[in-house]
Structures are given as C-alpha cells and as structure tokens.
Structure 1
C-alpha cells in the first residue's frame, strides 16, 4: 500500500508585492517538517511540487532537513513538477470582489486598521470565493471554479496512476488544492470548500492511503489524516502555527 502526502507550503509573504515567496518563518516551518520526518526514519520515494516558487522552496527546505544536507547539495533531478497542483488565483478572486485590494498596501493597511481585521478579512474573502464559485461571473476569471477543481483532481489522479513502486509520495502544494482534493475524496459539497481551506496550517500534512487494484477490485483511497501539524505543535510556540 502506498501513502500519498499532501503538504501545504510554509508561510508565504502575505501583504507584500510578491506573495509567492516563503517568509523566514515559512522556511523554518518547512525545515521543521523535514526534521520531524528524519527523527522518525521516514523516507520519501517520489517528490512532486506545484510550479509555484513557494511550493519548490518548501520542498527544498523540508528535504534538505530530512536528508541533513544543504539545499544546493540536493539532487533534484528525479523530482516532478506539475502545475496542476498550483493554487487558484486567490489575488484575482479577491480583487474581482473588492477592486481596491489590487494594491497589497491597501490590504496591509486594512489588516492593521481594525482590532478584528483578520476575521473581517476572512469574511470578505469567503464572499469573494462564493462569487467565484457561483458560476455567474465565470468570464471575470482566468480560471473558473470548476476548471480549478478538475485540474486539481486530474493532477492527483495522474500521481496515483504512476507505477514506479513509490511507497511514500510527497506532494508540495497549496491549501486550496488540498481542499479541492479532499472535497473530492469525501464527497463534500462546494459550500464546505472555504471552511476546509481556512483550517489548513502552513506546512501541515494530509495523508492518503492508496490501495492498488487487485483481484479485479478498483484502486481504493482512504483519507488517513487531514492537516497534521504535530511537527509544529512540539515547539510549544503558537506563533509557529500560521494559515497564510
């Protein structure tokens, strides 16, 4: 039986001009996952990343800690890159709902201007997601909600179809992608997507059991655990647990 691990990227640079870049904490979170795995003699047999910079940075930091080597010494020639695991265009989704948030400085000011700004921003973003998912404004978006869903599921199924004998498959990706795949596996309605997505911790791990076809039976999948961040909890520092 193979195990497929979906890893959310470490904390990115929210509120900056370039979100697609790990923060210093994001790198630390990723390395902490690699150390956690190393302490448990965990081996990764196939490494997959989305095409975004934060996915690849997370994989490099994690695997260098797992293998106890410098990032520039890692042999990445066998790694797979699949843009199917990329996040949805979250900035576009937000800006189509609140155009003034086009400027990251405006977002940063909003988050600093109110005592409960984080909750208010979450409500605004949820409304933006609802607009995107409604299907009524599909021409406004580079990628529709259903196109995003189908892309994520296709990338996931492509990894399941590979027959290279890999027992532990690590996919470094984003929260929205993980939520879409889990929504598919659990047959959840679209309304649960945002609720699930908001709970996913940076560098958190979701594990899926993959039982191969045999005796005429189709391949079976089971969600073993969702959003495990024990590697961060052992640090006993709430500031290490982030969601952006």
Structure 2
C-alpha cells in the first residue's frame, strides 16, 4: 500500500501585490512540519510540488528539516495538475469592482468583522463558480479544475505503484486537497466549500492507495502547529 501526504502550503501573503509568496509565519509553519516528520522518522521516496512559488517555498522550508537519509529521491517533480484554481478570477467574476484593489480595501474597511465578511463573500464567489450556470465566464470551470486535480492524483498513484515508491509527499493548495478529498470520499460540492474554508496553512492530509482503491487516513492535521503552542500559529488564509 502506498501513502500520499498532501501538504497545504504555509501562510501566503494575503492582501499583498504578490499572494504567491510565503509570509514569515508561512515559513515557520512548514519548518515545524518538517521537524515533526523528522521526529517521526518519516521519509519520502518522491517529492512533488504543484508548480506555484508558495508550493516550492513550502517544500524547501519543510524538507530542509529532514535528515538526508529520509529523502530517498533527490530530484523533485513539478506537476501543474496540483496547482490551485485562480482565486482572484473567481472573486472578480462575482465582484468586478475589486479589479481595483482600492475598492476591495475600502469594502473591507467598512466591515465590523472584515475576515468574516471576506469569508462570506468568498463562499458566494465559490458558489457561483461551482454552480455551473456561468462556466463560460472562467478560464477553468469547477468541473475542469476537479478533473485536473484528480487526473494528477491518479497519475501519481500509478507512477508510484509502478516504481515501488511507498511514501510520496505533495506540496499543493487547499482547493486542490479539498477536490481530492471529495474524489476519495464522494462528498458533494457544498461540503467541498466548507472543507476548503477550514484547511489550515501547513496542515497535512494522508491518503492510502493501492490499485483500484483509495482511502483517507487523516485530514487537515496540524498537530505540529499546536505543538508550537503560540497564539496565531494556526491560520487559514
């Protein structure tokens, strides 16, 4: 049986000009995950990143904490099938006025609870994207995104089975992980939205696979961040 560890990237730079960049806390979150793996003597025969900068930065930060003996393959793979969907476009299709960053900041400044207001706005944007009535508005529809993620996952399962690799780690994003969990567990789309909103930065989910069968061992594990014991170490955006 093979094991695939799906890691959500550390906290990115929400609200900045370049979201695709880990924050200082994001580096710390993934470094602690690496220490947790090292303490567990958990090694990996294959490392895959989803092709985004925050994925590679998370991989570098995490795996730098592992002894060389626990990384059995030195060449890391990149598979854009594990890339995240375009959050920016999904939000703009609901609220075109946010193409001007000043409008977004003004809206947020008016809210008594800005984070909660943003989360509701994003749920509405996700509902529009996933509803199917506006697929032509998006460069990548929800069914296309989900199919891309599942294809990348199945491709990786087939490769690792053929090569005899038991443990593989993938550095990716919350939307991708949620789509894959939906595939494994048969969840409906609304459950995927809620799952995605609850994904913790730097958390890890573990999927077991053998030919013709997959199962979820654990989901959204962030024990390494609780181990740190500091306020603010657990983030979602």
Using structure 2 for the length normalisation, give the TM-score. 0.93
Query: Does the CA contact (< 8 Å) of 2:46 and 2:72 recur in 1?
Result: no
Deviation at 1:221, TM superposition (A): 1.2
**Whole-angstrom CA distance in 2 between matches of 1:76 and 1:222:** 25
Ranges in structure 1 where 5+ consecutive residues have no aligned partner: 69-73, 214-218
State how 1:79-118 maps to structure 2 within 5 Å: 79-118=76-115
Q: Paired residue for 2:236, among 212, 224, 243?
A: 243
Give the Å deviation of 1:78: 1.4
Q: Which residue in the other structure is 2:43 paired with?
A: 43
Residue 139 of structure 1: aligned partner: 136
The one-character-per-residue Cα deviations of 1:22-48 (angstroms, maximum 9, x if unpaired) are 011101111110011111111111000
C-alpha separation in 2, matches of 1:112 and 1:67: 46
- Which residue is equivalent to 1:227? 220
Distance in 1 separating the partners of 2:94 and 2:186: 28
Which residue of structure 2 lines up, in the alignment, with residue 187 of structure 1? 186
Q: Judge conservation of contact 2:8–2:200 (CA < 8 Å) in 1.
A: yes
Aligned-partner SS, 1:20? coil
The aligned length equals 233
Cα deviation code 1:33-90 (max 9, x no counterpart) = 001111111111100000110001100110112238xxxxx99851110000000111
**Deviation at residue 195 of structure 1 after TM alignment:** 0.4
Match of 1:171 in 2: 170
Please state how far the C-alpha of 1:105 moved relative to its aligned partner. Answer: 4.4
In the superposition, the TM-score normalised over structure 1's length comes to: 0.91
| Structure 1 position 156, deviation (Å) | 0.4
Q: Does structure 2 conserve the Cα–Cα contact (< 8 Å) formed by 1:201 and 1:229? A: yes
Q: Does residue 153 of the first structure (1) align with residue 150 of the second (2)?
A: yes
Q: 1:118 to 1:208 in 2, by over 3 A?
A: same
Give 1:129 deviation, angstroms: 0.7
- Paired residue secondary structure (2:232): helix
The structure-2 alpha-carbon separation of the partners of 1:170 and 1:75, relative to structure 1 and needing over 3 Å to count, comes to closer
Match for residue 5 of structure 2?
A: 5
Deviation at 1:191, TM superposition (A): 1.6
Q: 1:184 and 1:103 mapped to 2: Cα distance?
A: 36
Q: Which residue of structure 2 lines up, in the alignment, with residue 53 of structure 1?
A: 53
Distance 1:66 1:103 in 2: 43
Per the TM alignment, residue 113 of structure 1 is displaced from its structure 2 partner at its CA by: 3.9
Equivalent-residue separation in structure 2 for 1:13 and 1:36 (angstroms): 24
Query: Is 1:16 matched up with 2:13?
Result: no
Equivalent pair of 1:15/1:105 in contact (CA under 8 Å) = no
Structure 2, unaligned runs of 5 or more: none
